[in-house]
Amino acid sequence: VKGSSFLESLSKTDTVVFDKTGTLTEGRFEVSRVHSVGMAEDELLETAAQAESVSNHPISKSIIEAHTSGFDASTVESAEEIPGKGVRAVVRGRTVHVGNHRLMNDIGAEYCHEEVAGTNVHVAVDGRYMGHIVVSDVVKSDAAEAVATLKAIGVRRTVMLSGDSARICTDVGGRLGIDDIRYELLPADKTEALERVMEDTPENRTVAYVGDGINDAPSLARADVGIAMGGLGSDAAIEAADVVIMDDAPSKIPTCIDLSKRVNRIVMQNIVFALAVKFGLLALTLFGFT
């Protein structure tokens, strides 16, 4: 905890806003399915891995790791990340787009949906849809306990913000008992959503934001109290946060809030006791008993 003022603010927590990936979920993605419509599955996975080689996003890393035979990085002539959408790369003279449905809409590629749980990573080559890769994440074992405990200690509302699809977010949020689920958000949208939540929060009450990634840094700085996952969290998130959870366990969030309430109770007890002693001595002094 980076300062006593944040302990005081935490004791007044009304709403806790969560990022999803890496905060409520493990953030360790695995490719669970490859669905190809325009090329062989191995080729689809290799093409996606080549394009994703420029990205440090956990989903990108999972696709690269899934292509176990490796690839020649020199075949990637140029590449760039498109925030909140995916990547664009030129591989062997072909323009490859790998990302979510927004990216496919931008290039006018007709894409198909996978009904199984997971994140759909779509692949298009020269504007033609080639298939998608399903990447799955796992909910942290103590996430549901954390949300339930928060409500038990007096937190009025829990909110989850994510860039993932409605289906994935609704599934995760429903299992965890999140009150308000907001999905398909770009990084800038998260901060705007947080500000709307803060506007809806009663005066003199606190909104805490919990996140772990670079994209969460603005929201961590904007919230009344920013809480970062310090184990796998980015340096930017840790720097921007007011509280850092060193083992990435969501269950430490209610623990921290409960500790802040205990600290504030002890502070008030000390003040009351000190004033009582002073007034007692003053009264004794007036009557000559000191």
- Residues identified as active-site: 19
The C-alpha atoms of residue 197 and residue 205 are separated, in whole angstroms, by 12
The C-alpha atoms of residue 81 and residue 106 are separated, in whole angstroms, by 14
Specify the 3-state DSSP secondary structure of 48.
Answer: helix
The C-alpha atoms of residue 265 and residue 95 are separated, in whole angstroms, by 62
Specify the 3-state DSSP secondary structure of 64.
Answer: helix
H-state helical runs in the chain: 4-10, 41-52, 58-66, 101-107, 143-152, 166-176, 187-199, 217-222, 235-240, 252-286
Looking at residue 121, its amino acid is V
The dihedrals phi and psi of 78, each to the nearest 5 degrees, come to -160, 155
Both tokens of 9, joined, read 């603010």
Taken in order 73, 77, 83, 84, is the CA torsion positive or negative? negative
The number of C-alpha atoms within 13 Å of 125 and in the hemisphere containing its C-beta is 19
Q: Between vectors from CA 108 to CA 163 and to CA 134, what angle results, nearest 5°?
A: 45
